[in-house]
Amino acid sequence: MPELALASWSGGKDSMLALLAARAAGVEVRWLLAMLDETGAKLRSHGVSLALMRAQARALGAELVAPPASWDDYEAVFTARLRELAALGAKSVVFGDIDLQAHRDWEERVCLQAGLQAMLPLWGRQRPGLAHEFIALGYKARVVCVDNRFLPGTFCGRLFDADFIADLPHGVDACGENGEFHTFVFDGPGFVQPVAHHVRAFSAYTTPQRFGAVRYTFAQLEPEHAG
């Protein structure tokens, strides 16, 4: 039998490439673990609604596990879900990180606490190459959040494509690995159908002072239903 696994899931392009690589290696990624904000209505970092995250998981043939958490109890909630999924048979956790060692250290630590193995199939790859590979594979993604320290709000809501990458200011990573922007993947390899949606509005958010009072622009996506 294939090894059972879950993916630490943001719904974005790096998570998607890691999922693709794990499945290509014969791993059965049955669960997508996506962390919501305290309201339980949207993804904590990307701002994508629970309804769209569920639609994305269904299109990918996986079960969404989406607990709410604050930044203060994020690790405790995340680790608790890892333990629950380990009890259901999961052996490993797929992460989409590329080269940030602090992220890998945290991931390996929480996996160890839950008796799971951390899998990082994108680790050590070249960032620009991954961005272009994602597009070449036929994936479609929308930029749902930008950090206004790096990008103006006009970049938010755009498709993540070759034009988007070409328009990025000097010094902004093509993968957004430093948090410059986040994406929502809605079609491509592994999808049984596209996740139909449209941009309903844009909103600004400034983090609390203890997190640096950083200003972000979010695209508020809304599902589209046939008929």
Domain positions in the chain are: 1-227
Share of the chain above pLDDT 70, in %: 99
Instruction: Give 226's pLDDT tier (boundaries 50, 70, 90).
Output: low
pLDDT at 227 over 50: no
CATH numeric code, 1-227: 3.40.50.620
Q: Per-residue pLDDT tens for 5-55?
A: 999 999 999 999 999 999 999 999 999 999 999 999 999 889 999 999 999
Average pLDDT on 112-132 reads 95
Gap between the Cα atoms of 217 and 33, Å rounded: 24
Q: Per-residue pLDDT tens for 93-117?
A: 999 999 899 999 999 999 999 999 9
β-pairing verdict for 63-65 and 28-33: parallel
Query: Alpha helix locations (H) across 120-200?
Result: 127-136, 162-167
